[in-house]
Amino acid sequence: MRHKLLLSGILLSFIVICVACDRTKTEKSDLSSVADNKESKISLPEGLAIIENTEEFISVTEDQTFQFNTDHQFYLSNDMDFAEGEDSYYYLQNKMYLYVFDKETQLFHILCNKPDCHHKYIPEEEITCNAILPAASGLVYYNHFLYTLLKEYSDDGKAEILCLYKISLDGAERNKVCELAKCFYSENVTEQINDETFSIWYIQHKGYLYYIYNFGTYGRSETFYNNGSNILYRIPIDGNEKPECITLLQKDGECALMYLKGIGSYVYYIQSDNSGMGDLYRLNTESMKIEKIPVTNIASEDYIVVGNTVIYKKKYDDNEFYQYHIDENTEDLYICADNETDYKVLYPEYDGKNVYIRKALPYNDYTLWKYDVVDENGQVTAQFQNYRNQNENMEFLSSLGGNTDFYFFLNLSGFLFYVDKNQLNGAELQLLEYKRSK
């Protein structure tokens, strides 16, 4: 299932504990002071008000069209290590090395132009390469800069601190914006940090970083919110205000299955259980109230938002996609994907122009994918795939999505490939490998 791959892609090996989250300027929650208190001793934030009656939803007044420099790049993968700039795409390889793909020249190279630089990370040595971001977590674009999360250590060596960094598009400048979160070991929290004990998920939307993480709780009820875990926050991306609590994840949920999407004046998310099924909500960033969309128990990783319509699956193994029209408060069948022989229908994607229905062959652990291209009238107009033939020795870790021009893929060796969407004409396209600059 796709969310298992996602979890492995975003789990990190460092310790964090959240800074105090306060919903108001005067009402503070002391989540960062003690890591080993049980829930009865932790002062939890309340989160924002939730509106469940659709007739009480508050209309937004701001422009809802996509703003490239400020809005969440919803068309890219949930794996977080990929971002688009005006002239290039940026890719964080292996949580360490920053690469760039020039849209015009279609050259792919490491983001460092220092002469005689070997672009290698050597522990204990000073980092001089512009492209090296050791133990980085994710990558987002905002207003002509890149942002990522890096870890640092406290002065006493007892805690690791998750810091937000701002990076110039040529990689030459990087500056710490703020300390986002801080964590340490404790009696009730795991004493071994590994890929099973920490996960984080975040997006940038309209100048705010929305994030949620889980540190060492293993989903246990009595420690579910320790260290500020499993709480959705937001903070201005310039770091000039304290984090604000949006909502608390329900006790049986997983933070990596919230699937945040910033669309216009809204931030959508799923309150999912650990099976990946859940209810859909959205934060109205103008009213700062949460609206519960009357779409319940849907597959959390299988939804997209097109305008004011939500497209989703009711079961992971289903090939029927439904659409809910928020303004009209109506639901109907969107499309029944053609369940071709040997293919399994997975989930929908959207790039701002077309919807893509992704299918998978059972070979190589479902890493051979075919895509139906669906136009605004719900008609399949083309197909493309991420393999040249089914017997090719090419295993892919994930699809990274892309804008209306490109669709990107990541293989298990950490290399990127793309399909040119401008050539979609109904034929199955060959996979194109990046050209590399010397």
Within-domain flag for 437? yes
pLDDT at 115: 87
pLDDT at 318: 85
- pLDDT computed for residue 5 by the predictor: 37
pLDDT score for 129: 93
Residues 298, 301, 302, 303, Cα dihedral to 10° = 80
Asked if the structure places residue 425 within a domain, the reply is yes
Q: Residues with Cβ < 8 Å from 161, sequence gap 6 or more?
A: 16, 151, 152, 153, 154, 179, 181, 182
Contact between 300 and 276 (Cβ < 8 Å): yes
User: Who's near 152: CB < 8 A, 6+ residues apart?
Assistant: 160, 161, 163, 179
Give buried/exposed letters for 138-156 (b at 16+ CB in 10 A, else e).
bbbbbeebbbbbbbeeeee
Q: Which pLDDT band, with edges at 50, 70 and 90, does 33 fall under?
A: very low
Containing domain of residue 434, as a range? 338-438
Is residue 240 included in any domain, yes or no?
no
Does 373 fall in a domain? yes
Q: What is the pLDDT of residue 13?
A: 34
pLDDT computed for residue 179 by the predictor: 86
Q: Which secondary structure element, helix H or strand E, spans residue 313, and what is its range? A: none
> How many domains, the chain?
1
For 331, counting Cβ atoms within 10 Å of its Cβ (0-12 exposed, 13-18 middle, 19+ buried), the class is middle
pLDDT at res. 21: 39
Per-residue model confidence as pLDDT tens digits over 219-241? 677 778 877 888 999 999 998 88
Bridge-based pairing state of the strands 432-433 and 416-420? antiparallel
**pLDDT recorded at residue 1:** 45
Q: In this predicted structure, what is the pLDDT of residue 7?
A: 37
Please indicate, yes or no, if residue 427 is contained in any of the structural domains.
Answer: yes
In this predicted structure, the answer to whether residue 70 has a pLDDT above a threshold of 90 is yes
What is the amino acid identity at position 227?
A: N
- The pLDDT score that the predictor gives to residue 55 is 94
Return mean pLDDT, the chain. Answer: 80
The more confidently predicted of residues 139 and 383 is 139
Give the end-to-end CA distance of the chain in Å, rounded to a whole number.
38
Does residue 186 have a pLDDT over 70? no
pLDDT tens-place string over residues 275-318:
889 999 999 999 999 999 999 889 988 899 999 999 999 988 88
Burial class (CB in 10 A: 0-12, 13-18, 19+), 377: exposed
pLDDT at 74 over 90: yes
pLDDT score of 194: 46
* Helices and strands (H, E) in the chain, number of each type: 1, 31
Contact 138, 400 (CB under 8 A): no
Residue 220 lies in a domain: no
Residue 44 resides in a domain: no
Residue 105 makes CB contacts below 8 A (sequence gap 6+) with none
**pLDDT above 60 for 53:** yes
Q: What is residue 76's predicted lDDT score, i.e. its pLDDT?
A: 92
> What pLDDT is recorded for position 404?
84
Q: What is the pLDDT of residue 19?
A: 35
Per-residue pLDDT, 41: 60
Tell me whether residue 148 is in a domain: no
Across 11-15, 183-187, 403-407, least confident range? 11-15
Q: Is the pLDDT of residue 127 over 80?
A: yes
Read off the pLDDT band of 72 (50, 70, 90).
Answer: very high
Highest mean pLDDT among 6-15, 22-31, 144-153: 144-153
Q: What percent of the chain has pLDDT over 90?
A: 39
Binning pLDDT at 50, 70 and 90, where does residue 16 land?
A: very low
